Structure 1
């Protein structure tokens, strides 16, 4: 169990460090060209995610995402001992890892370690009321697709398929595909290219949760899914 929790912590930390760090570097080098910055951010995320799943997957399943953990736990609990404690610990270490990854990225770039994002991505504002429905829909779509890939990917192809899907979703969704409540937390703690303001975070997490449920339903309608990780190990 200790090695699994450490793998989830390190994997989530490294993933958020890659997302945020590459965003900082891309913003500095792109001379204001947002398309170039997003492309660089995407490539770094895809490569890091693939490597992390390959390296840490044999230990913990490489969830790095509370919704992935909950979906796989609920699948297992229908037929076996659900081990809710394991799922809770996985999620706790993912959230801690997301925070550590954001702080590590700031430290590497000589920025203030403790930050809070000011980058609104929908939510409530006194001037405009509620906004961001398109980004919330995008997060639901991105997360639903991710869960569908996680549940149906052949185990030996899961690292590449998950990484490729996230890379594609960076570009075909209006939200740039957070698809992960732990990522929302980590990115809420950085006032950089990849950040999200606290006011926008609840909408993203709710949309991701709805999307995850939709992904499970679609997978069931398609037939028996194949889980790529085992919380019962």
Structure 2
């Protein structure tokens, strides 16, 4: 349905969606951390808020822009020739700008400095592998969801990110724009700016690997190989 909306509306939807997503991630992290000294409980609160807002945002903005809110996801759709190079560049700019705006809004809501670069260290092989796995799973779920259950994609993505918060060592950023925005908050959800490049590279690699695998996995069997068809 995105082709019925002009590019300017799609860009606003991407910026708005990413801003609300980041405001939720950062704001719920600040709130949870202020209400409890229990890190696990704070992470649980952060997780629930993030999963919930993803379901809402993808449902209401998906029909306008595709609800990528993520440069790695937009790159995947550009490589699938469903997004032009120009639109890809503008989507990425809108997502990054929206993410930064989301951090600023969250800080203002909690009376914090507009920008406060994070001091939270998130680096090392385990963190990078976690981000690669997180982005791989996200893209795989999106592509398979679009193929088999398009209307279920908001819930699939929300539930996946909710789970990935807990099974990845990095708490599943899975999104270069969100990682950039989170580098600007010295709060529960933050990431040190110095560690940002490793996350972005890992997320992009995971997304591209998912594209390659899912293109093969979801391609229909050729007529010459009817035995590969699923039997009724």
Alignment-derived partner of residue 115 in structure 1: 116
Alignment-derived partner of residue 226 in structure 2: none
- For residues 87 and 62 of structure 2, the distance between their equivalents in structure 1, rounded to whole angstroms, comes to 16
Number of matched pairs: 211
Match of 1:176 among 171, 195, 199: 171
Unaligned runs of 5+ in 2: 1-6, 221-232
Alignment-derived partner of residue 228 in structure 2: none
- For residues 83 and 103 of structure 1, the distance between their equivalents in structure 2, rounded to whole angstroms, comes to 30
1:166-219 Cα offsets, whole Å, 9 max, x none, are 110000000000000001111000000000001111111111111111111221
Q: CA deviation at 1:115?
A: 1.0
Q: CA deviation at 1:68?
A: 0.5
Alignment-derived partner of residue 55 in structure 1: 60
Alignment-derived partner of residue 125 in structure 1: none
Q: CA deviation at 1:224?
A: 2.7
CA RMSD of aligned residues (A): 1.1
Q: CA deviation at 1:114?
A: 1.5
Q: CA deviation at 1:73?
A: 1.3
Match of 1:34 among 39, 53, 72: 39
- For residues 201 and 87 of structure 1, the distance between their equivalents in structure 2, rounded to whole angstroms, comes to 21
- For residues 137 and 207 of structure 1, the distance between their equivalents in structure 2, rounded to whole angstroms, comes to 7
SS in 2 for 1:76: coil
Contact kept in structure 1, 2:144 and 2:218, CA below 8 Å: no
Alignment-derived partner of residue 206 in structure 1: 201
Alignment-derived partner of residue 8 in structure 1: 14
Give the helix-richer structure, 1 or 2. 2
SS in 1 for 2:173: coil
SS in 1 for 2:193: coil
Alignment-derived partner of residue 25 in structure 1: 31
Match of 2:135 among 116, 140, 143: 143
- For residues 223 and 108 of structure 1, the distance between their equivalents in structure 2, rounded to whole angstroms, comes to 44
- For residues 90 and 199 of structure 1, the distance between their equivalents in structure 2, rounded to whole angstroms, comes to 24
1:121-161 Cα offsets, whole Å, 9 max, x none, are 01xxxxxxxxx110100000000000101111021110000
- For residues 224 and 61 of structure 1, the distance between their equivalents in structure 2, rounded to whole angstroms, comes to 22
Q: 1:45-194 alignment to 2 at 5 Å?
A: 45-76=50-81, 83-122=84-123, 132-153=124-145, 154-194=149-189
Bigger Rg over Cα: 2
- For residues 76 and 160 of structure 1, the distance between their equivalents in structure 2, rounded to whole angstroms, comes to 25
1:18-73 Cα offsets, whole Å, 9 max, x none, are 0000000000011x100000000000001111100001011001000001001011
Q: Structure 2-normalised TM-score?
A: 0.89
